[in-house]
Amino acid sequence: MISKIGVLTSGGDAPGMNAAIRGVTRYAIEKGLAVEGIIRGYEGLLRHETITLDRRTVGGIIHRGGTILRTARCLEFMEKDVQKEAADYLRSLEIDALVVIGGDGSMRGAQALSHCGIPTMVIPGTIDNDMMGTQYTIGFDTTVNTVLESINKIRDTASSHERVAVIEVMGRNAGFIALYAGMASGAEAVLVPEHEVNLPRLCEHLAESHRIGKLSSIVVVAEGAAKGTDVVDYIKEHTYLEPNLTVLGYVQRGGAPSALDATMAGLYAQKAIDSLLAGTYNCVIGLIGRRIAATPYSEAPHFHFPISDNMYQLVHMLGR
């Protein structure tokens, strides 16, 4: 029987995390549960930093980026004795289950606590959209729209000066941000970790587009596919075109969540609490098809959703 839950955010921040904290807190209270917030993620468990959450504590945050619980990366938490210490602290607070909002690393931390006897539930919150057990992670839509807005502004200058604009975006292991932003902006090409980077072919593609009358081009590069500086240098050395580089950086993490991210945060929160109350735990909440599901950690690797090869090809077909 669960009467009190904990909630924390961990890893990189993502737009919509506050909406998820709000959803978890208010829905849990609606169901008769007490809620304790852990400050600074797993590090906060070790430093004993917590705050009691109520309806008013999470008021006025649904539209705010970042996370009011703050977040941190905690390498110490990889050690088993540290994990046991954290589990013991949760028990001392009489916390019956923990809701973790974050990405893959956060899910590994939740799994570790589950092995120590703490029921856990993960709400996927990462801008990269690359977690197992879900087709959608909170923060992705907002980030794509942030990138799209930036690309549209950069395009104005690229067109005015007849240049190639190379735009480096986040995505160390997955190219979702680059692919979707590239598709939505009409980019000439996207470079993603999932596909081999062929710079000679890229230069041929750009040169051919220029020959048929295209005066400027957009190339979106995921950071895990290539360094933007290397792409710019190669284009300069092997074509007559004038490329320049914009690295968008941390602007991609900030800002108010989109309607989709704020909505999904609430729906994921509801599923997490309902699952815990039904006796289902040690799962990742996620969108699978048209259904929000709670998938056990052990089964999550079977639900891996890569980028669309069709969309990757289509970007390059439509970009000329």
Which are the catalytic amino acids?
Answer: 128
171 a known binding residue?
Answer: yes
Q: Closest by alpha carbon to 144, among 170, 125, 162, 164?
A: 170
156 a known binding residue?
Answer: no
- Strand-by-strand arrangement of the 189-191 sheet: 189-191, 217-222, 164-169, 243-247
How many Cβ atoms from other residues are within 10 Å of residue 219's Cβ? 26
116 a known binding residue?
Answer: no
36 a known binding residue?
Answer: no
250 a known binding residue?
Answer: yes
264 a known binding residue?
Answer: no
270 a known binding residue?
Answer: no
Maximum Cα interatomic distance, the chain, rounded to a whole number of Å: 70
How many Cβ atoms from other residues are within 10 Å of residue 139's Cβ? 30
Q: Closest by alpha carbon to 243, among 162, 156, 159, 163?
A: 163
215 a known binding residue?
Answer: yes
Angle between helices 140-161 and 176-185 (to 10 degrees): 50
126 a known binding residue?
Answer: yes
240 a known binding residue?
Answer: no
186 a known binding residue?
Answer: yes
162 a known binding residue?
Answer: no
- Triad 14, 280, 258: Cα angle to 5°: 20
143 a known binding residue?
Answer: no
23 a known binding residue?
Answer: yes
26 a known binding residue?
Answer: yes
What is the DSSP track for 166-210? EEEE--SS--HHHHHHHHHHT-SEEE-TTS---HHHHHHHHHHHH
127 a known binding residue?
Answer: yes
18: left (phi over 0), alpha (psi -120 to 50) or beta: alpha
CA 310/CA 183 separation, integer angstroms? 11
Angle between helices 17-30 and 259-277 (to 10 degrees): 40
194 a known binding residue?
Answer: no
CA 10/CA 40 separation, integer angstroms? 7
Please report the beta strands in the chain, taking only residues with DSSP state E, as ranges in sequence order. Answer: 4-9, 34-38, 50-53, 97-102, 120-124, 164-169, 189-191, 217-222, 243-247, 283-288, 291-296
Binding-site positions: 12, 22-26, 73-74, 103-106, 126-128, 155, 163, 170-172, 186-188, 214-216, 223, 250-253
Q: Which residues are annotated as a binding site for Mg(2+)?
A: 104
Annotated binding site for ADP: 22-26, 155, 186-188, 214-216
Binding-site residue numbers for substrate are 126-128, 163, 170-172, 223, 250-253
Residues of the binding site for ATP: 12, 73-74, 103-106
